[in-house]
Structure 1
Amino acid sequence: MRHIKIWVVAVVALIGNNASAQTDYQKPPAEILELADVKAPSASIVSRNNKYLALLDRSLYKSLEELAEPELKLAGIRINPENFSLSRGTYYTGLKIQHLISKEPITVKGLPANLKMQSFSFSPNENYCAFINAAFNKLSLWVIDMKTGQAKEIIPSGISATMGSAYMWGPDDSYLFVRYKGDKAKMPEVRELPKGPATQDATGVKAAARTYQDLLRNKQDEAKFDYYTTTSVVKAFVDGRPIQQVLKDGVYKSFSYSPDGKYLLAEEVRQPYSYTLTYGSFPSRFNIYDINGTFVKTFYDRPLQDKVPVSYDAVEAGKRSIFWRSDMPSTLMWAVAPDGGDPEQQSEYRDEVFQSDYPFTEEKLVCKLNNRFSGIEFGRKDMAIVYDYWWKNRNTRTAFIDPSKENSPLRVIWDRSTEDVYSDPGDFVNTYNQYNRAVLQYSKDGKSLYLTGEGYSPEGNKPFIDEFKIADAKTKRLWRADGKSTYERVIRIIDAEKKLALTSIESPKVYPNYYLRNYKGDSKPTQLTFKENPYKALADVSKQKINYKRADGVDLYATLYLPAGYDKTKGERLPMLMEAYPTEYKDAKAAGQVKESPNAFISLYWGSPVYWVMRGYAVLEDAQFPIIGKDKEEPNDTYIPQLVADAAAAIKAVDSMGVVDKNRCAVMGHSYGAFMTANLLAHSDLFAAGIARSGAYNRTLTPFSFQAEQRSYWEAQKVYNDMSPFNYADKLKEPILFIHGDADNNPGTFTLQSERMFQAIKGTGGKARLVLLPYESHGYAARENILHMLWEMDTWLEKYVKNKKEISMK
């Protein structure tokens, strides 16, 4: 691995002394460092038949050196050219496996010395598990025999993961399908002069595109994209036999096999490529092969998707969402929009669902939907459950259909708003059929299905298990978490007849662990995992849900943390750090619905505001900031006044409790929360300072929709301009700290957004600081960068909030 000098750190600039500089990496105070530098708890993976539990160890952060590894940005993906994988991927450094119920451990032997495990999975019949080991310059495929615990390498090199997962288990446990590049090495870096300029044409046809990043720019990029994404598909055998080619070289976006294991469906990306869209919109061809790679037929030629409207209810014309039906041997299904994918076009139905059995020559209409198709679950040949959705009015429907009939009528079970979480009936429980595919779980008599859900309520989430009667769609409550002191959620049903479920139980001070619960009676659940709380320093911190109202009567809530030992009766009022993220609604009643449990574990991550409760701050986390569009009005038509009203209500609530000094409040947010932060400082005097991470501040640079705003800039110029804090940089007088990754790949939040916003404040006499974190994308990953970010935030809060002085901004 190449080495870098990690003293090259955050680029910073500070107004006040007009300084621009680079500074060495810093660490936050001990109280924060103790929480930020803990050992990450292991990740849990349960095998599909509930036989095994794998516990995977991981590092909490990457190192800066890892983040600085070579990276190519091509067609919306980021590739590590050294080992042909997606860059910035998560990996695991340790593995333990146990029998789920008995907790009996399986001793795993022979793992690679420098383990960087990715893509861990159990085989269909759970005789093996597999994983990719990522070295600096290669990927290798390993399998573990579950009987012996012995790990062995079955492909030492030549694997590619640039287009997603490097492998997929075959129909049985004897082999895996693998993306294989052979002995192809890193593309030679030859400086090639262009043969001419890169050109694009607007032909008079509407072809709007969102502000994607990492796009192709020229023919050289096209050549690199082809080089790094082209692979064959081979069979790799667990017994060590030589690999066998199945599909010849191509750019395989995806491939999957039929439930009976006889056919392969492969989506192959084709030219011409686009310089305004990511590879997901490139032309592609859906080909069908037999399981050994013999070509059967081309099922669908998908054109370049450059004319899809930007509306959130818009979809591509032609066949889409092509997949194998899970309860039939070899039947393909897909959806087609009669309105051509354009929601502005009038149509009696918005989607039609089709299917085709082998040999895939005849198409049969399954059903017609009033909204867009969003999924289907199969039970029997004559029964399935179909889902549809319409964004504009937030409507979703769930209905029974008979897929054995042509154009089956719908028996609607639920017709509801996705915003109304209190009416959420939950999700149907699945099991696995003879093809090892997920299907609906029936009761023994075949008359009932089962549901599990979060159980949203004004008191907080109380997850449940229901029996659902097929005949009349009525439900019977089998179990519900009491929610008094713990938050217990259902991971999966182990045995519906014996009423056994795998659940996770946690409380504010107790880390989530798996339990086996018999929900037939009141017996105590059996603990299966024993992960410890890594944040014991927070043991005496106070956590409480607070409920309050906006000035217009909208119900709001937030989580309030107070320092250990704080006693408000002594009259001390605390400085406060508030974190929020605006959410758009069409229903004011739904906006105030509680969507979490007050008993959830106090969990931290790199961007959490809760660290500062250890520094003597009151912390208001996840304060609800609804932006509501009433009647025909869109939410963003009144974005600014609603945003300020949300903030004012939160500060009034904590001020009335007597715990917060309303003159020493800071607001922070990430991404759309950063956009919120800049707007609050520009349009109110509620806060002493702000912290905005990885945001976008000039909406004219995201002209074809952003967040939940469907309209383009030219359809809603006033909305775009009014919402852009860049236009009000001269009004932004409270100090604001901008932090941004200098390799942000999120659509819309280009690093340039923070740079230009900072320059606007600088040019109009405001007070700000800009910190650019080397190599970071939209979410931050390197330990050095994250600890420095926490130091920057703490320094800012100490100076401008806790120890605030009245400074004239004139």
Structure 2
Amino acid sequence: MKRTLLSFLLMGGLSTYVYAQENLTYQLPPQSIVDLVDAPGSPTVQFNKNGSLMLLLQAPGYASIEQVAQPVIGLAGIRINPANNSTEGELSGVYNGLTIKDLKTGKENKLTGLPDKMKMTNISWNADGSLFAFTNNSPNGVELWLADLKEFKATRLSNGYLNDAYGTTLQWHPDGKHILAQFILPERGIKPAENIVPTGPVVQENLGVVTPSRTYQNLLKNTYDQSLMEYYLTSQLQSVDLSGNVVKIGTPAIYRKAAYSPDGQYLLVQTIEKPYSYLVPIYYFPFQTTVLDASGKLVKQLYNAPLAEKLPTGFDAVAMGPRSYEWRSDAAATLVWTEAQDKGDPNLKSELRDVLYALKAPFNAAPVKLFSMALRYSDVVWGNQNYALVKEQWRKDRKEKMTLINPETGKVIKEIANRSSEDTYSDPGDFIYGKGPYAAKVLLFDKGTPGVVFTKGAGASSLGDRPFILKWNLLSNKQDTLFKSKSPYYEEPVFFNNTGKVYISRESTEETPNIFAIDLKSKSEQALTSFVDPYPSLKGVQKTLLSYPRKDGIKLSATLYLPKDYKKENGPLPVLIWAYPREFKSLAAAGQVKGSPYRFTRLAFRSPVFWVTRGYAVLDQADMPIVGEGKEEPNDTFLKQIEDNATALINYVVDMGVADRGRIAVGGHSYGAFMTANLLAHTKLFAAGIARSGAYNRTLTPFGFQGEARTYWQAMDVYNKMSPFNYADKIKTPLLMTHGIDDENSGTFPIQSERLYSAIKGHGGTVRLVLLPKEFHGYRSRESILHTFWEQDQWLEKYVKNKK
């Protein structure tokens, strides 16, 4: 392994008040943890649209620090890899191998012709499921490839490179024979050179207009950044046929969106326009919405959306004017969009919040008002000429509604749901889609019965999650459960198309997830995969879903892991609690059971379960609800509630006999890190804390954070009380902090950890700050992850397990 320098800051023991700065190469945690980090994951499964084929996609392991250390440019809220003009993310959805399984014959095939050192992304199926397009992230650019599943052959379709930094990288034409893709302009040349001699100051100005905004990262800072953004984001739309012949569509632009009408005759296009902003990311920039014909000629100019720097405060705030343009997927070429009726301001009283409009091709008539909403528009689920479902929501009150309408006339047929989004027990699930008359996705209807659809959901209940498939008559509200997970398994539907079978992923605490086909009539089943346990060293680890009361009666839950062969007579164990606070407006919803007792343990860098191999009792996903009913806001009593949550859990596991009250650590990532620092500042419950990539001074996020919609000036006392930075002099429990130096997350700038470290150090606390070079909010490289685990293990061994 390449040894690379890691810089961090270290605060010595409480009695010595020593401040030190050290240099250290990346370290390795104990081998039991290294083996789990390096364990190969099971393949990801993906079905084609008609359910005849299944892809088994293999993802690579963690990247090396050398890979993640490649240059990244932050522009307008986007992280761009300048080497190949792609978005630089946390490396999910990238595959380096695949197998194709024929679900009728069971035969498995490999594709020939795949690129060397493949990094497959953006998988997109054609209408009949016989082909899929994908991109390959090569060092020089993003390549367009085609996989033919009749010949089992992969071919690069074009010598040009795609723009994968922003917009819709690729999509199929409804005919299944052409692909529309965003190409880099071959004539763009080298990137603009920066003039190192300033031509003047950078000026921002506000002339008395209320312009609140949250804290964003990687924003534009000057005119050079603007020129870089235009260089990296400008694309040329091109249609590519299956032989690789290319036709230009329209003109070069920064494409926000491009979508074919279901009949393939038109393109709905949105392009970013000037003026750009230094205050908000690109999705708030001005943009123009137009309709082009399939060859790229202008048919209709729809709307020029202005710069959205001046949105009102609140999670239900939206821009004025038309928004959320899309095609009605069950019709040939009908545009739909919504417009706010309250100036987009949730703080204004209004009987109506949004109106849904429709406009049919050739787009010359007046728009038709389709549906008026008392809440904010969320989505439309299109079915056929008789049925569509309109979804509304109001995030402040956690309200959501679904209404069944006739999409031709707008006539309301009936209200389908009016519920709290927090109430997981009553969640009817997500609608299952099928192929519409133009190959676009629409509601999957039961043949021969009007208004009968299907949903699949998590099946939250007092017994834990029990995923299901539901057959639902929207007209009579009759519901039939076609499939439901049964103990001692967690069985999750992964594909259903109403052909008499359901494909599920089945797992248990001891069995790794595998795919099964179940005949719904005969109940016979067939195993389709035989993935092996990637974590044999965890065999025998005891896993239990706990349910315990908070002192105000709320039922809480957490997943307890105990070392293999552990018995209570062995005595209580040191404990690591890992949690993440969540806001609720209902006590009942906060007390609902989360998760399932039958899940197989999956490990990722955010998991604390690694430490069960080190002799700790681990409590993962410990409930940390913050409740504010009625006019009360959850954060008004944040500190009291996190203490009550932690106390309830500690008392419960101590009473079980598995936890040593004097040797308990608490930790979390992001908002969980914020929680950890607060618990250490305001309680004496813990022996140590681990806080990764958190925010600790809420005055630095003054226009809202997490679920808090009020500004600092509206709730100054709440912001100040919730900021552990303000109580750094009270943090005497040993605290380990880690942070990615290139953290891109809104609100969690690395300075948050640096300033809290300095404050605790200045008051003689025991604290250690580890800054990880080239890491984002989620750590990506093997070296950084293993070093973070080494730091955590050292901290836990010293201040928890072997506490003096």
SS at match of 2:56: strand
Percent identical residues: 42
Q: What is aligned with 2:507?
A: 506
Is the contact between residue 194 and residue 224 of structure 2 (CA under 8 Å) also seen in structure 1?
A: no
Query: Any idea what the Cα deviations from partners look like across 1:546-570, whole Å, max 9, x if unmatched?
Result: 1111111111111100001111024
Is the contact between residue 141 and residue 154 of structure 1 (CA under 8 Å) also seen in structure 2?
A: yes
SS at match of 2:556: strand
Q: Please say if 1:24 is aligned against 2:25.
A: yes
CA–CA separation in structure 2 for the residues paired with 1:106 and 1:172: 26
Give the C-alpha shift of residue 21 in structure 1: 1.5
Q: What is aligned with 2:672?
A: 673
CA–CA separation in structure 2 for the residues paired with 1:144 and 1:514: 23
Q: What is aligned with 1:689?
A: 688
Is the contact between residue 168 and residue 257 of structure 2 (CA under 8 Å) also seen in structure 1?
A: no
Is the contact between residue 82 and residue 186 of structure 1 (CA under 8 Å) also seen in structure 2?
A: no
Judge which range, 95-104 or 596-605, deviates more: 95-104
Q: What is aligned with 1:532?
A: 532
Give the C-alpha shift of residue 643 in structure 1: 0.7
Aligned pairs (5 A) from 1:434-513? 434-447=437-450, 448-482=452-486, 484-494=487-497, 496=498, 498-513=499-514
Q: What is aligned with 1:797?
A: 796
Q: What is aligned with 1:748?
A: 747
Give the C-alpha shift of residue 149 in structure 1: 1.1
Q: What is aligned with 1:592?
A: 591
Judge which range, 100-109 or 286-295, deviates more: 100-109
Q: What is aligned with 2:224?
A: 220
Give the C-alpha shift of residue 166 in structure 1: 2.6
Judge which range, 765-774 or 446-455, deviates more: 446-455
Q: Please say if 1:173 is aligned against 2:172.
A: no
CA–CA separation in structure 1 for the residues paired with 2:2 and 2:305: 47
Moved segments of 4+, more than 3 Å: 188-192
Is the contact between residue 416 and residue 474 of structure 2 (CA under 8 Å) also seen in structure 1?
A: no
Aligned pairs (5 A) from 1:209-248? 209-241=213-245, 243-248=246-251
Query: Any idea what the Cα deviations from partners look like across 1:574-631, whole Å, max 9, x if unmatched?
Result: 0000001111111111101112111011111012100000000000111101111022
Seen in structure 2, the aligned counterparts of structure 1 residues 402 and 75 have a Cα distance that, compared at 3 Å, is same
Is the contact between residue 159 and residue 182 of structure 1 (CA under 8 Å) also seen in structure 2?
A: no
Q: Please say if 1:14 is aligned against 2:8.
A: no
Judge which range, 467-476 or 629-638, deviates more: 467-476
Give the C-alpha shift of residue 5 in structure 1: 7.4
Is the contact between residue 181 and residue 232 of structure 1 (CA under 8 Å) also seen in structure 2?
A: yes
CA–CA separation in structure 2 for the residues paired with 1:611 and 1:206: 48
Q: What is aligned with 1:80?
A: 81
Aligned pairs (5 A) from 1:400-411? 400-406=404-410, 408-409=411-412, 411=414
Is the contact between residue 111 and residue 151 of structure 1 (CA under 8 Å) also seen in structure 2?
A: yes
SS at match of 1:739: strand
SS at match of 2:495: strand
Structure 2's unaligned 5+ residue stretches are none
SS at match of 1:355: strand
CA–CA separation in structure 2 for the residues paired with 1:123 and 1:403: 27
Seen in structure 2, the aligned counterparts of structure 1 residues 466 and 158 have a Cα distance that, compared at 3 Å, is closer
Query: Any idea what the Cα deviations from partners look like across 1:461-494, whole Å, max 9, x if unmatched?
Result: 1122222223321212333222x21000111313
Q: What is aligned with 1:808?
A: none
Structure 1's unaligned 5+ residue stretches are 806-810
Q: Which amino acid letter does the alignment assign opposite residue 523 of structure 2?
A: D
Q: What is aligned with 2:338?
A: 335
Is the contact between residue 745 and residue 777 of structure 1 (CA under 8 Å) also seen in structure 2?
A: yes
Q: Please say if 1:379 is aligned against 2:383.
A: yes
Query: Any idea what the Cα deviations from partners look like across 1:374-399, whole Å, max 9, x if unmatched?
Result: 11112221211111111111111111
Give the C-alpha shift of residue 125 in structure 1: 2.2
Q: Please say if 1:97 is aligned against 2:71.
A: no
Aligned pairs (5 A) from 1:555-566? 555-566=555-566
Query: Any idea what the Cα deviations from partners look like across 1:282-335, whole Å, max 9, x if unmatched?
Result: 000011110111111211111101111230111111111110000110001111
Judge which range, 704-713 or 357-366, deviates more: 357-366
Query: Any idea what the Cα deviations from partners look like across 1:65-85, whole Å, max 9, x if unmatched?
Result: 111111111000011111111
Is the contact between residue 210 and residue 310 of structure 1 (CA under 8 Å) also seen in structure 2?
A: no
Query: Any idea what the Cα deviations from partners look like across 1:499-548, whole Å, max 9, x if unmatched?
Result: 3111111111211111111222433x211122221011101100001111
CA–CA separation in structure 2 for the residues paired with 1:577 and 1:250: 52
Q: Which amino acid letter does the alignment assign opposite residue 73 of structure 1?
A: G
Instruction: Give the structure-1-normalised TM-score.
Output: 0.96
Seen in structure 2, the aligned counterparts of structure 1 residues 114 and 522 have a Cα distance that, compared at 3 Å, is closer
Is the contact between residue 478 and residue 519 of structure 1 (CA under 8 Å) also seen in structure 2?
A: yes
Give the C-alpha shift of residue 103 in structure 1: 2.4
CA–CA separation in structure 2 for the residues paired with 1:390 and 1:546: 32
Query: Any idea what the Cα deviations from partners look like across 1:782-802, whole Å, max 9, x if unmatched?
Result: 011001001000000000000
Q: What is aligned with 1:766?
A: 765
Q: Which amino acid letter does the alignment assign opposite residue 78 of structure 2?
A: I
Query: Any idea what the Cα deviations from partners look like across 1:170-193, whole Å, max 9, x if unmatched?
Result: 222322111111323541544432
Q: What is aligned with 1:552?
A: 552
Seen in structure 2, the aligned counterparts of structure 1 residues 434 and 128 have a Cα distance that, compared at 3 Å, is same
Give the C-alpha shift of residue 409 in structure 1: 3.1
Q: Which amino acid letter does the alignment assign opposite residue 448 of structure 2?
A: D
Give the C-alpha shift of residue 114 in structure 1: 2.1
CA–CA separation in structure 2 for the residues paired with 1:563 and 1:158: 51
CA–CA separation in structure 2 for the residues paired with 1:673 and 1:103: 45
Q: What is aligned with 2:616?
A: 617
CA–CA separation in structure 1 for the residues paired with 2:12 and 2:251: 58
SS at match of 2:653: helix
Query: Any idea what the Cα deviations from partners look like across 1:648-698, whole Å, max 9, x if unmatched?
Result: 001000000011101000000000000000000000000000000000000
Q: 2:111 aligns with which of 93, 99, 108?
A: 108
Q: Which amino acid letter does the alignment assign opposite residue 99 of structure 1?
A: D
Instruction: Give the structure-2-normalised TM-score.
Output: 0.97
SS at match of 2:383: strand
Is the contact between residue 168 and residue 258 of structure 2 (CA under 8 Å) also seen in structure 1?
A: no
SS at match of 1:471: coil
Is the contact between residue 85 and residue 165 of structure 2 (CA under 8 Å) also seen in structure 1?
A: yes
Q: Which amino acid letter does the alignment assign opposite residue 530 of structure 2?
A: F
Is the contact between residue 177 and residue 236 of structure 1 (CA under 8 Å) also seen in structure 2?
A: yes
CA–CA separation in structure 2 for the residues paired with 1:357 and 1:6: 62
CA–CA separation in structure 2 for the residues paired with 1:186 and 1:62: 28
Q: Which amino acid letter does the alignment assign opposite residue 738 of structure 1?
A: M
Query: Any idea what the Cα deviations from partners look like across 1:416-472, whole Å, max 9, x if unmatched?
Result: 111111111222222111211111222222232222222111111112222222332
Is the contact between residue 86 and residue 164 of structure 1 (CA under 8 Å) also seen in structure 2?
A: no
Is the contact between residue 353 and residue 367 of structure 1 (CA under 8 Å) also seen in structure 2?
A: yes
CA–CA separation in structure 1 for the residues paired with 2:442 and 2:118: 36
Give the C-alpha shift of residue 402 in structure 1: 1.3
SS at match of 1:168: strand
Q: Please say if 1:45 is aligned against 2:37.
A: no
Aligned pairs (5 A) from 1:568-587? 568-570=568-570, 572-587=571-586
Is the contact between residue 127 and residue 173 of structure 1 (CA under 8 Å) also seen in structure 2?
A: no
Q: Which amino acid letter does the alignment assign opposite residue 559 of structure 2?
A: T
Q: Which amino acid letter does the alignment assign opposite residue 15 of structure 1?
A: G
Judge which range, 724-733 or 226-235, deviates more: 226-235
Q: Which amino acid letter does the alignment assign opposite residue 545 of structure 1?
A: L
Q: Which amino acid letter does the alignment assign opposite residue 537 of structure 2?
A: A
Q: Please say if 1:417 is aligned against 2:412.
A: no
Q: Which amino acid letter does the alignment assign opposite residue 657 of structure 1?
A: M
Q: Which amino acid letter does the alignment assign opposite residue 617 of structure 2?
A: A
Q: What is aligned with 2:722?
A: 723
Aligned pairs (5 A) from 1:191-340? 191-241=195-245, 243-340=246-343
Judge which range, 593-602 or 712-721, deviates more: 593-602
CA-based RMSD of the aligned residues comes to 1.5
Is the contact between residue 81 and residue 186 of structure 1 (CA under 8 Å) also seen in structure 2?
A: no
Q: Which amino acid letter does the alignment assign opposite residue 441 of structure 1?
A: L
CA–CA separation in structure 2 for the residues paired with 1:130 and 1:465: 30
